[in-house]
Structure 1
């Protein structure tokens, strides 16, 4: 028995030692953390890469590369001719898409490798950039970390505050091929020496740029989709509580946390037309109030918030219908409702969606008025 144990231990030791023969030191690897795709002034496709530098002998902590190519996989060969180590793509945190890319309807074809190569991370963030990517990769803000850390943290924070949607390439792939929803992803822009979350980019049914949702519109979309992450703070200007016209501080704004969204959608299909009644129940906590809150004044303020928020949500959906974009995913609701009727409309869903009757109704439940009454 003892002889058997010794032999078994020896086998494990041999296997463990042999597993170390193919090791690569981290300083000999160029880890691709941020990848970018853009179209330059010569109408050529460029691929960008940012990688951390692990050598203590260099001042720069990140190395940047860009090459002209039509293949992400081929770009690695060019990167390896310039990088100090073997390029690896298994740690990609974010993929940036330049605004000029979205002028070409076949742009998504260059992404094909991400979904076929099992070594790539499908939970990497997909981010659109308002402007050329060269400006982003040349950015060196003095009070921010390097790009491979800066960009993922920026998107993560914006998603937690519900001013952006964190969209992975797996999620975008699903939206791209799903006929019942319009693809979207967060948008970055450069302001001075800093990157800022500019809102949410919506695409057309041809996968071209349609419009950018503002921060406020992105928050409203999160409510409609019942997709809250972390904390959502809504600020509304309520004109009926305006007191002093001449003062800068007009004391008309109220703000509150939305703790949760309870969404119920009533669906109906009749004579070739869909109807969606979106009923939203929102528990809120007041953080600012234009009036003192008593039982009677609370009811007045709550009614004003419901009316204002309901109007903004309905206006947003009407603008979506006008632009023929469906980021809420009413098409998904349609084919989960009556699949036979959906099959009649799936190939021209956006035309059907544009003619659909969609109404949003908001109910506010105050769960906290704060300390000051």
Structure 2
């Protein structure tokens, strides 16, 4: 019995010794970059930016920015560490900012290889396009706004819940780049004339990650509807034809919350091209009407007018997508699922195939509420 107690006591002593803090790293002695910026400078050189929070009580500025020209992202860590006041810990990124100039180069995505190859890195970083040089936003640091990486991540996460942008992580971008049946879309921000950060809908990329087009907020909402990703209600404001404008005010607008949106896409192959029949069903609650109409008496007519306008704007978005020979909706996934033989013949040039496809949209609207006024 005494030997057993001695044995247990010996094990306890070993555990106590091994669980010490000999390898402890205080936050004051570490650098945690929470935002990574990638861009091409005016001299066509690859440039990397990071911003670290500063935890020292004696420092007035609570962030430390580092900017370095680099050959690769992994190689740049040595240079970043040389400029960091603490031990550089480069695996905690919240957002990855990519400048518009860099997005205009095909295969820029390969520069992110270390993010995926080193398993210690996170792949949930939000990938965001910046409409301008990354240096303009990385050094902004407004005193009346949260720390930049947290501000950007919060903007993307909250606005994507309302379908006003897209929330694309590094892992999702990786999947979309190598998936032939869809092309990537990422959120986009810019600086307004007062140097305030503004969310700007979404950026559409081609199969190689190169910039193709920008979607405004309402176009991004429609894109999410086509993707069937609207888990919550979305807000739309549409013009109603036939209403004349009086003075400086737009009197032809109707606004509503669209709920319980269901999008169904049927795929067929006829006359040597793909055909997609898109049916969108939505319940709407009216939130604003700027022209005289009796919803109770003319509700069916108003439903028809709203449906026609949603259909018109959706068709315009689809034509825009087809003109750039991209597929952010993922029509290729439907084609592969239901017309596999024909899709396999076209998958290597799917953008061109979709540009020639016949896409028909129908919209069914049901008004559930008109508010407490007639």
Provide the TM-score with structure 1 as the length reference.
0.93
Verify: 1:316 aligned to 2:298, yes or no: no
The answer as to whether partners of 2:34 and 2:94 remain within 8 angstroms in 1 is yes
Aligned in 2, Cα 1:154/1:316: closer, same or farther, shift over 3 Å? same
Superposed CA deviations along residues 281-331 of structure 1, whole A, max 9, x for unmatched, are: 111111113445443321111111001111111121122112211110101
Q: Is the 8 A contact 1:268 1:275 kept in 2?
A: yes
CA displacement at 1:269 relative to structure 2: 1.5
Q: 1:94 to 1:250 in 2, by over 3 A?
A: closer
Aligned runs of 1:61-76 on 2, under 5 Å?
A: 61-76=62-77
Aligned counterpart, 1:49? 50
CA 1:221/1:73 → structure 2, altered by over 3 Å: closer, same or farther?
Answer: same
Deviations along 1:141-179, one digit per CA (max 9) or x if unpaired, are 232112122221122232123211011011100110011
Shift of 1:9: 7.2
Segments of 5+ residues of structure 1 without an aligned counterpart are none
Indicate the SS of the match to 1:315.
helix
Aligned residues of 2:40 and 2:99 also touching (Cα < 8 A): yes
1:246 alignment counterpart: 246
Q: In the alignment, what sits opposite 1:268?
A: 268
What's the secondary structure of 1:249's corresponding residue?
coil
Structure 2 gaps, min length 5 = none
| Matched length | 371
Q: Structure 1 residue 259 and structure 2 residue 259: aligned?
A: yes
C-alpha RMSD of the superposition? 2.0
The 1-side partners of 2:320 and 2:46 are apart by 33
User: Which residue of structure 1 lines up, in the alignment, with residue 188 of structure 2?
Assistant: 187
Moved over 4 A (4+): 1-10
8 Å CA contact 1:163–1:218 kept in 2: the answer is yes
- 1:117 and 1:6 map into 2 onto residues whose CA distance is 44
Return the alpha-carbon distance in structure 1 between the equivalents of residues 123 and 173 of structure 2: 10
Structure 1 CA distance for aligned equivalents of residues 329 and 118 of structure 2: 30
- Paired with 2:277 and 2:330, the residues of 1 have a C-alpha distance of 14
Please name the residue that 2:304 is paired with.
303
- Written as runs of structure 1 = structure 2, the 5 A alignment for 1:1-373 is 8=8, 11=11, 14-15=14-15, 17-19=17-19, 20-191=21-192, 192-242=194-244, 245-289=245-289, 290-373=291-374
2:276 match: secondary structure: strand
Give the direction of change, closer, same or farther, for the CA distance of 1:5–1:51 in structure 2 (3 Å limit). Answer: farther
Contact 2:267 2:339 in 1 (8 A): no
